[in-house]
Amino acid sequence: MDWTEGYVDVGYTHDFYRELTPALHRFALLSRGIDAGGDLDKIRYCELGCGHGFSSVLLAAAHPDGEFHANDFLPGHIAYARKLAEDTGTTNITLYDDAFDAFGQRDLPDFDIIALHGVYTWVSEENRRHIVDFIARRLKVGGIVYISYNCHPGWATVRPLRDLMIMFSGNPTDPVLPRIDQALAKIQLLFDTNSMYTRLNPMLKDRFDSIRKQARSYVAHEYFNRDWTIFYHSDVARELRDAKLDFATTVQLFDHLDNFNLTPEQQKLLSETGNIDHREVLRDFIMNRQFRRDLYAKGGLPLSADDRNARIAAMRFVLTTLPADISRNVLTTLGSLGLNAAVFDPVIAAFAKGPRTIADVMDADETRALGLPVILEAVIILVGNNHMQPCLPAAGDAARAERTAVFNTAILERALNSNDLLFLASPLTGGGFQLNRFDQMFLLAQQRNHKDPAAFVCDRLIARNEGMVRDGKALRTAEENLAYLRERYADFQRRLPILQQLGIA
């Protein structure tokens, strides 16, 4: 029996996806005035189609009083995820190599959050029905669903390229990796022979070049599955309505700010469109979106303005980028916009003193005059650009830190031999923080009290025959390698306060 249902049978990447983080969901919902999603510290969370499971295992480690479940029908993915959970001492997660229909038959608890990232586009209509049935049965009233998928119209130009890849990739039952090279070589000829399609759509060249550089495992999962459905927002909203879900908001927080993304005429067009589904579709066209990351709620409660403001003010945030490294320009659909220094400088300076609530910032002398709406807009921009993260309640920091310390040490030890897991868990945010392999090894060296962390990392890498590369040139001598690592270590130390504030170092 072919249990893969046209899905590529090859391992996926090992990333952590920030969009899956419960505290981020909470902030996105509250900023839209919606109360949903349960008690964050005792969250019951289910990820469907979890891949190698790094996101779910990390989230479980960072929510030790929560209960996590995740499935994926590729046994290699689940074997990896179970081993990762074991190696990191993460016991509050159960991982299943079930397909969606079998998973729905299990005796599982009711969930506060059901999340599926990068799944809905890549499965059949029948499997989408299994997913919706699962949500209908397993999501609590007041629970939320995070879902992401490829959407119109951002794929309009590129979609034919994907169709050609499939057409020229040979027999779908043969191993996928060699078929990818075969298909890409054929498409290269379209560019070489200057076809009208590639000539009239100049952005295709960059797109094709980036596909060629992407990890083959990613390309296989993105482009080479039998099922690949591009949706309008309204299609997905309609399907999810069968599980009693209403669209709540996107977690692409920056998109919450119409003034930064839309012209006055575009804002008027949207405000005159009464149907929320049509409004979201129009927004996708205005922004030429190709991927949506959305939250849906089952019976989410609208908050009064006072309640919403009180709950937003009580939320705590932590900077994840040093103030000096935060760009004072943001890229939006309207182009590159400068941020108002009179607002951003004092707000960033206030949060640079350490994790704090919006209420704390509203009380501080330097920022008191700004008021909640202005501070909140600045926070949305900082969170939306991944310079800041919302936190879990402070009361649970110490208990979470005990668990994340064990998890993080296990990840750091892996970094000595591997480059696959590039995130650590923060007990404050309950989510992941990206840290490259050098930085992970420096942190491990510090934890082990090595006198010269750069030399420790250098010895380790050279012993493994892993010489370094600088500006595309391989560094040959031990001295060159060490000098390079000393520079990297100095930069790591400069950024160390961020790791300390996140409760990671």
**List of residues contacting ligand SAM (CB under 6 A):** 5, 7, 12, 15, 17, 49-51, 71-74, 77, 99-100, 117-119, 122-123, 127, 221
Q: What's the rounded Cα separation, in Å, for the pair 232 and 230?
A: 7
| Rg of the chain, C-alpha, whole Å | 23
Shortest Cβ 199–ligand SAM spacing (Å) = 32
Shortest Cβ 28–ligand SAM spacing (Å) = 18
Q: What's the rounded Cα separation, in Å, for the pair 86 and 103?
A: 22
Tell me if 354 sits within 8 A of 364, measured CB to CB. Answer: no
Judged by beta carbon, residue 125 or residue 192, the one nearer ligand SAM is 125
Tell me if 104 sits within 8 A of 71, measured CB to CB. Answer: no
Judged by beta carbon, residue 256 or residue 293, the one nearer ligand SAM is 293
Shortest Cβ 195–ligand SAM spacing (Å) = 29
Shortest Cβ 166–ligand SAM spacing (Å) = 16
Token pair belonging to 367 = 């920022």
Find, among 388, 269, 408, the residue nearest to 326 by Cα.
388
Judged by beta carbon, residue 175 or residue 371, the one nearer ligand SAM is 175
Residues in CB range of 38: below 8 A, 6 or more apart: 44, 112, 113, 140, 142, 143
Find, among 382, 398, 402, the residue nearest to 390 by Cα.
382
Judged by beta carbon, residue 103 or residue 456, the one nearer ligand SAM is 103
Shortest Cβ 187–ligand SAM spacing (Å) = 21
Judged by beta carbon, residue 126 or residue 479, the one nearer ligand SAM is 126
Shortest Cβ 186–ligand SAM spacing (Å) = 24
Find, among 385, 267, 256, the residue nearest to 326 by Cα.
385
Shortest Cβ 254–ligand SAM spacing (Å) = 21
DSSP assignment of 213-281:
HS-HHHHHHHH-SS----B-HHHHHHHHHTTT-EEEEES-GGGG-HHHHS-HHHHHHHHT---HHHHHH
Judged by beta carbon, residue 100 or residue 296, the one nearer ligand SAM is 100
Shortest Cβ 131–ligand SAM spacing (Å) = 9
Q: What's the rounded Cα separation, in Å, for the pair 65 and 92?
A: 8
Judged by beta carbon, residue 69 or residue 117, the one nearer ligand SAM is 117
Find, among 56, 114, 388, 393, the residue nearest to 253 by Cα.
388
Token pair belonging to 479 = 């001295």
Judged by beta carbon, residue 13 or residue 447, the one nearer ligand SAM is 13
